[in-house]
Structure formats: C-alpha cells, structure tokens
Amino acid sequence: MKKLFASLFIVMAACCHISAQNTPGSAPKIISIDNKQVHDTEYATYYDFSFDVTYKGATSITIGVEEEYNPYYDIIHINEPSPAHVYLKYLNRGRMTWVDVIAENEYGKDTLTIELPVMSEDYADGLTSIDKSPAKTDHIDIYSLDGRFMKRIKSISELSSFHACTLLLQYFNNKNQLIRSKKIKLK
C-alpha cells in the first residue's frame, strides 16, 4: 500500500509540474528597453545605436534591423542574460530604421519595435538631434515591405481598403518633398 501511495504521489507531482509549465504565464515578455543612445561614427552619413533590453521567460533575444529603401532584413541573435546590451553599427542617417526586439520560447513570442526617424545633421553637445520638420501633408505614398509602390492617397483614412499587412508610408508636402516615413501594421 505504501508503494502504491508513493507511486501515485510521484505521478501527481509530475503532472502538476508539467501543468505548471504550460500556464499562459510561461510565454516570454520584454519588460523594458532602456539606455537608448546614438553614437557617431567615422562616416558622417551613418550612426551607431545602442540600448539595453530587460526580458523574462527566454534565454536569448533576436534583433531584426530594417532600413527604409533597403531590401535586407538583418538578424542578430544575442545570447546574453537579461538585461542584454545591443549595439547596432552603421545605420543610415538619411533613412527611417525599424529595430524589432524579439523574445521567444516554446510557449510564445513577444515582439517590440523601435522606430528610429531620419537623423538631421544638427549636433548639440555631441548628440544627434531628430529631424521633426513641421509641415502639412499633401499626399501619402504607400509601399509594400519589399519597396514596391502600391498606391498614392490623400488621407490615412483611405487605408481601410487594405487587408491585414505591414506597409511603409511616405508623407509628402505640396512641393513633393518627403516629410517623413512610417512603418505601420494593419490588423
């Protein structure tokens, strides 16, 4: 009888352990992104970017880097415990850049995207300032992620005709000058 009870106890303990691992709380989570810094390089048209990622539920993170007008999506695996330090080299000052931070395990995935705007040539105390040109939008050009032109619209409300996808938007003023670019995800 004691052996039967001990066997049942071991089976119950194993079942409870497996059940505890499959709880929804087991999915990874990106807690914060801190210490974002822009670093100058020896080339005037490029900059480096660094930040720290605090995460839980994963043993490593994956960084995806996408630059406007660039067909490549660079992937970097960082096998550092939380908080992990990320250093990205030679980002183009004249292009929008999106940095995807991904924590993943067998129970799920958490993704956070950092959008880096076009950097101006103005420097203040050694730091690069962000170009925030105030201008009125005349039209918006829509591109697919691979850079293919899709449509020109006058208002963002016209995006309702698109299905779920990720798009690149370019905002232009009435002189056909690019004001800004933006990556959006339609659901």
Domains and CATH numbers, the chain: 26-130 (2.60.40.10), 139-186 (no CATH)
The per-residue pLDDT for 130 is 38
The per-residue pLDDT for 25 is 58
Distance CA 28, CA 41 (A): 34
pTM of the shown model: 0.52
DSSP three-state, residue 163 = coil
Tens-digit pLDDT profile for residues 140-166: 899 887 788 999 998 877 877 777 788
Q: Please, are residues 74 and 47 in contact by the beta-carbon 8 Å criterion?
A: no
DSSP three-state, residue 139 = strand
The per-residue pLDDT for 123 is 32
Name the band, by pLDDT with cuts 50, 70 and 90, for residue 92. Answer: confident
Lowest mean pLDDT among 38-52, 113-127, 161-175: 113-127
pLDDT at residue 13 tops 70? no
The per-residue pLDDT for 128 is 36
Helices (H), the chain: 2-21
Q: What single letter denotes the amino acid at residue 90?
A: Y
pLDDT at residue 129 tops 50? no
Name the band, by pLDDT with cuts 50, 70 and 90, for residue 131. Answer: very low
